[in-house]
Structure 1
Amino acid sequence: MDKENPPPATRSHPRHHAVPPYLLVSMAACDGVWEAPEAMREFIAPPVAPEDRDLPGAPGQSAGSDFETRSRIATRARQTLLLDQALLHERATTHADIARLMDPTGRLARIISDAQGAESTPGNPVRAEGESPIQDLDVNRAYDGLGAVYEFLADMFKRSSLDGSGLVLRGTVHYGQYYDNAFWDGTQMVMGDGDGEVFNSFTSSLSVIAHELGHGLLQYTTNLDYQGQSGALNESIADVMGALVEQFVAGQDAASASWLIGEGLFTDAVHGVALRSMAAPGTAYDDPILGKDPQPATMAGYLDTTEDNGGVHLNSGIPNHAFYLFATALGGNAWETAGSLWFNVIATRALPQDADFGIFAEQTLLQARRDHGAGSAIELALVEAWDAVGVHPVVQEAVNE
């Protein structure tokens, strides 16, 4: 354990959910029975004419009426929203809680537990490090996903687990009934099974698994405040982690990668390909129930809202797109130069916890100069990427005066 830089002992670690609340709100309102909060109505899909509705029934059933399908989806989405709201009020994770999860050897150590449909964690341990696969696809995918993240951090950044000191990687699967989300709770990754009509099991997406552990990495490096632009950076850096781990495992370079977060998570009934697109924010889905992906790609579309902790899942599309432009401009493997630069920025802890986009952009440019020299092609590509999304680097000292 890093005794010089221990994890915060008193700060609450918010539950970082994979599916943003505005998407669940659209699902919850799709039967017209529940009225969404005023601030969220702009994100709800408009009513769809009966002749244009083509959603099927539940898996293994006939299509049934459109209202029955929408009623099922809405009910399950409301249950997920209520559960997610309750999780936000759980106790803070303490230093002592985390210390018990350290592996003194520093080697890869994983424990996967099964919640068996209950809304509690961790559940029953079902597979530990070195044990053979079992007859549960979700357990095995979670186990493999945690291993992929560990390998990525070890190979690329010489880091032993999320904390740099061999933190045991834990995951809980089969959380809740038809639970349409996944989250990092400060000590482990928790995955729902999905409802089978909008979402498949959340273990089906390696980028979502790596995204959740990306929040864990930030917890032990630069623990960015989960509000406004610093919260959007928190979400964006987790998305970068998700994309890079998926590319690393698949052996994809920046040009051939999809840059999608949550690809394969939607069922075939959904008009969409993923939760988010880093290559083209705002295009991941356009569905009668989910609505259209509202993420902006540039500051021209920045969404000033009080919902979603100040738009953390919305405005994360802006730094996401900057990273995509930077990585594809450099070419080759995105995790090498671009990913290493992003990792070094958060690992050096030079960022304030309330950093906005401008401060983060400036820190990436300073890191580019340290790593590659002033005026390098890499620095110029980074300048162009931030300029393309409308983010102007801000010198931190000037902000603090």
Structure 2
Amino acid sequence: MSKSSAKEWDRAAPSTSWTRLACIIPPDLLAAVAREADADQREALLETMQLDQSFRVSRAEAAASIIAPTRTGVARVGAGTPDRAIYDQQHSNATTPGTLMRSEGQGPVSDVSVNQAYDNFGYTYKLYWDQFHRDSIDDQGMQIQGLVHFGTNYDNAFWDGAGHMFFGDGDGQMLTDTTKGIDVVGHELTHGVTQHEANLRYSGQSGALNESVSDVFGSLVKQYQLGQDAATADWLIGADIVGPQLAPALRSMKAPGTANQYDNQPSTMDGYVHTTSDNGGVHTNSGIPNHAFYLIATAIGGNAWEAAGQIWYDTLADPRLHPTATFSRFAGLTLRSARTRFGSSSSEAAAVKSGWEAVKVKVR
């Protein structure tokens, strides 16, 4: 790396000031790849990092302003059907919607990315509606807007906290077209669900829980759409969007730390990473609750979106789940949810307790 390139990377490298931008690719990973990249790819990565940084303040403000929706008990007209709108950003960095390409109910268009975003939004809505009777991100029928072809070789995808999901096309080495990932879309839209329910603070253990909840439901969206049970699912996150540098996936819930050459996620509290980077290691330490969910879902067996997914959703919607929740507090609430729904002596409750104990999180 040249001296000038090194200085550019240093200016764009992640710091503790990069808060609450919940992208699918964490800043630490972008920085690690940038260190080893050739000049062309480094330029794309630097631009990605700078764009991500530019969103941090607006997303933080959006997250802070969220008020939980009022439950009227009356379903809106059209509940059970998503409201999707997909826009083409034409490789610009514009943060407002570009050209409208496909609206709810319209047929496929010639742009594959538009169709993939539209379909994957639908799969995410379907899981939440069919299994948890949730009407979109805010449970009030919020329109879901997808902005595809964002930036030039943009190596990320994210939910902006205000109704828009941005999709980069990737540089072909680190990432490919991010609209392809069912679980990626499920992950990002779940950040919106979490924002409207528990609003978990995006720092430390609560931030790692925020990331983990998104991985959990992203994986469940994929499993639900593909008809995979807990035993046959691959439990990988982002396998459909990674390029050769990150193959075979971004993260593994089954075996954290093994998804790609840069994966340093711990699977138990023995490996918990204490760091000031990435808001206290939110993408790294999320491997611990991710692994707990995998262990619990496979111990219960069957379809993970049924018992295990219901327990996690009940917990996310529990008013006792505070924005600064620790792993231990979240674990205790999942056990409470399991006992409430399935019974104190149920196999589901036993699986929850054992799963958290296996990753060395105290259940309180």
Specify whether residues 171 and 388 from structure 1 end up closer, same or farther in structure 2 by C-alpha distance, changes over 3 A only.
same
Displacement of 1:198 after TM fit? 2.0
Give 1:266's aligned residue: 242
Q: Whose Rg is larger?
A: 1
Counterparts of 1:197 and 1:352, CA distance in 2: 39
Give 1:72's aligned residue: 40
Give 1:314's aligned residue: 284
Candidates 263, 280, 301, aligned match of 1:331: 301
Unaligned runs of 5+ in 1: 1-12, 32-69, 287-291, 395-401
- 8 A Cα contact 2:85 2:145, kept in partner: yes
Q: Is the aligned partner of 1:361 residue 2:307?
A: no
TM-score relative to the length of structure 1: 0.80
Displacement of 1:349 after TM fit? 2.4
Counterparts of 2:209 and 2:172, CA distance in 1: 31
Counterparts of 2:275 and 2:58, CA distance in 1: 25
- Describe how 1:156-171 pairs up with structure 2 within 5 A: 156-171=131-146
Structure 1 stretches (4+) deviating beyond 2 angstroms?
89-96, 103-107, 269-272
- 8 A Cα contact 1:28 1:76, kept in partner: no
Give 2:111's aligned residue: 136
- 8 A Cα contact 2:239 2:247, kept in partner: no
Counterparts of 2:21 and 2:86, CA distance in 1: 19
Unaligned runs of 5+ in 2: 1-18, 71-75
Q: Is the aligned partner of 1:217 residue 2:218?
A: no
Q: Is the aligned partner of 1:30 residue 2:4?
A: no
Aligned-partner residue type, residue 203 of structure 1 = T
Counterparts of 2:164 and 2:246, CA distance in 1: 31
SS in 2 for 1:17: coil
Displacement of 1:264 after TM fit? 2.2
Candidates 112, 116, 123, aligned match of 2:86: 112
Give 1:49's aligned residue: none
Counterparts of 1:172 and 1:266, CA distance in 2: 19
Candidates 182, 196, 213, aligned match of 2:157: 182
Displacement of 1:197 after TM fit? 2.1
Displacement of 1:321 after TM fit? 0.1
Aligned-partner residue type, residue 228 of structure 1 = G
Give 1:205's aligned residue: 181
Displacement of 1:95 after TM fit? 6.3
Candidates 40, 53, 57, aligned match of 1:85: 53
- 8 A Cα contact 1:273 1:285, kept in partner: yes
Displacement of 1:109 after TM fit? 0.9
Counterparts of 1:14 and 1:232, CA distance in 2: 12
Query: Which of the pair is proportionally richer in helix?
Result: 2
Aligned-partner residue type, residue 110 of structure 1 = R
Counterparts of 1:219 and 1:203, CA distance in 2: 22
SS in 2 for 1:312: helix
- 8 A Cα contact 1:30 1:71, kept in partner: no
Give 1:349's aligned residue: 319
